[in-house]
């Protein structure tokens, strides 16, 4: 993925006419896209303005827009320039619609697939409040980019069904029996953000919660910073990160699992681990304070390279810059870590 092209696509979401938003906010006029006709209205706008035939679904407070296109991927299996243009248009339409409807839409999700290879998908998720913040320039374009969830992956439902179909073939199951089993046991709405997708004319969309969105955003920012920040890139070899929001023993919080190697630069194992955790905590603080989110008790970090679990209280996350205690006292670890 080219981050420059992605930033350009995301920037399109803040290019909605200020005059239109001012009219909606100041005059309180009737919504352009009433909730009763929201899905059909989105389809019509995409068709009339860009010649795009899309499928649309609403799940709770989440709007989903799906578009199959020719040439999603280029010869290097990256997203083609033409595809980015289509995606930019979809983001723009989703932003316009969600800012101009009386439906209670908090998130929108754009899913794009190549009509020739639907097993591969691009998914973009935005928080409607962030679109408004960008509109009024309360956040920068770079911040808007970081607040946007982007993934390019194998369509989760396709991956699941392909595996099951291999079993069906071995058992000699065909036709109606296969479909009945798939519908009964293997086709259901996703439990996690990572399971969102579109497969065989059906949305796999969920009502996105603020907690899981922030958890995914924390993971996304860790990935961006450790991949793109020069200092971090020179010190560490990023491999993977996952973010989730969990409950345990009547308490709730963020669970961040990561695999980030050091690059072997002189400085000592303890020093590298300390800086790595400091950077991750900085990112977590950046997210929760940016959204003024306080409805959590802890952050648990799972360093999967050494099978170490670290925990920090929500209070210490918010007081990170004021706290004069050493990091070793702020972070509770399951064993000797630093």
Q: Are 170 and 164 in contact (CB under 8 A)?
A: no
Using 50, 70 and 90 to split pLDDT, how confident is the model at 122? very high
pLDDT, mean of residues 189-209: 96
Q: Are 206 and 196 in contact (CB under 8 A)?
A: yes
Percent of residues, the chain, with pLDDT higher than 70? 90
CATH class of 211-333: alpha beta
pLDDT, mean of residues 172-187: 90
What's the confidence (pLDDT) of residue 338? 81
Percent of residues, the chain, with pLDDT higher than 90? 71
What's the confidence (pLDDT) of residue 22? 43
Domain ranges of the chain: 3-155+189-207, 211-333
How much is the pTM? 0.89
Q: Are 206 and 157 in contact (CB under 8 A)?
A: no
Considering only CA atoms, which of 108, 58, 111 is closest in space to residue 83? 111
- Please say if the pLDDT value at position 26 is more than 70: no
Using 50, 70 and 90 to split pLDDT, how confident is the model at 230? very high
pLDDT, tens digit (0-9, with 9 covering 90-100), for 244-264: 999 988 999 999 999 999 876
pLDDT, tens digit (0-9, with 9 covering 90-100), for 39-84: 999 999 999 999 999 999 999 999 999 999 988 988 888 899 999 9
């Amino acid at each position: 993925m080219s981050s420059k092209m992605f930033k350009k696509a995301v920037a399109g979401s803040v290019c909605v006419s200020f005059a239109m938003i001012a009219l909606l906010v100041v005059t309180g006029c009737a919504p352009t896209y009433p909730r009763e006709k929201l899905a059909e209205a989105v389809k019509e706008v995409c068709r009339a303005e860009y010649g795009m035939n899309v499928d649309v679904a609403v799940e709770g407070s989440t709007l989903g827009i799906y578009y199959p296109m020719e040439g999603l991927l280029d010869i290097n299996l990256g997203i083609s320039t033409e595809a980015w243009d289509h995606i930019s248009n979809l983001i723009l339409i989703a932003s316009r619609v969600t800012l101009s409807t009386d439906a209670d839409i908090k998130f929108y999700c754009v899913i794009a697939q190549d009509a020739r290879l639907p097993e591969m998908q691009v998914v973009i998720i935005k928080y409607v409040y962030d679109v408004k913040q960008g509109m009024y320039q309360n956040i920068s374009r770079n911040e808007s980019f970081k607040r946007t969830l982007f993934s390019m992956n194998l369509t989760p439902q396709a991956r699941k069904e392909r595996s099951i179909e291999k079993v069906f073939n071995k058992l000699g199951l065909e036709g109606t029996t296969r479909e009945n089993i798939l519908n009964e046991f293997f086709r259901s709405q996703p439990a996690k953000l990572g399971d969102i997708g579109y497969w065989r004319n059906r949305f796999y969309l969920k009502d996105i919660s603020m907690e899981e969105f922030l958890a995914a955003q924390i993971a996304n920012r860790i990935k961006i910073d450790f991949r793109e920040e020069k200092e971090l890139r020179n010190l560490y070899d990023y491999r993977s990160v996952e973010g989730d929001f969990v409950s345990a023993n009547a308490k709730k919080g963020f669970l961040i699992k990561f695999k980030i190697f050091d690059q072997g630069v002189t400085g000592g194992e303890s020093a590298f681990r300390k800086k790595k955790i400091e950077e991750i905590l900085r990112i977590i603080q950046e997210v929760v304070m940016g959204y003024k989110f306080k409805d959590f008790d802890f952050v648990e970090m799972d360093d999967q390279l050494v099978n170490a679990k670290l925990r920090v209280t929500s209070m210490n996350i918010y007081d990170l810059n004021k706290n004069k205690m050493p990091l070793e006292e702020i972070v509770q670890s399951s064993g000797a870590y630093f």
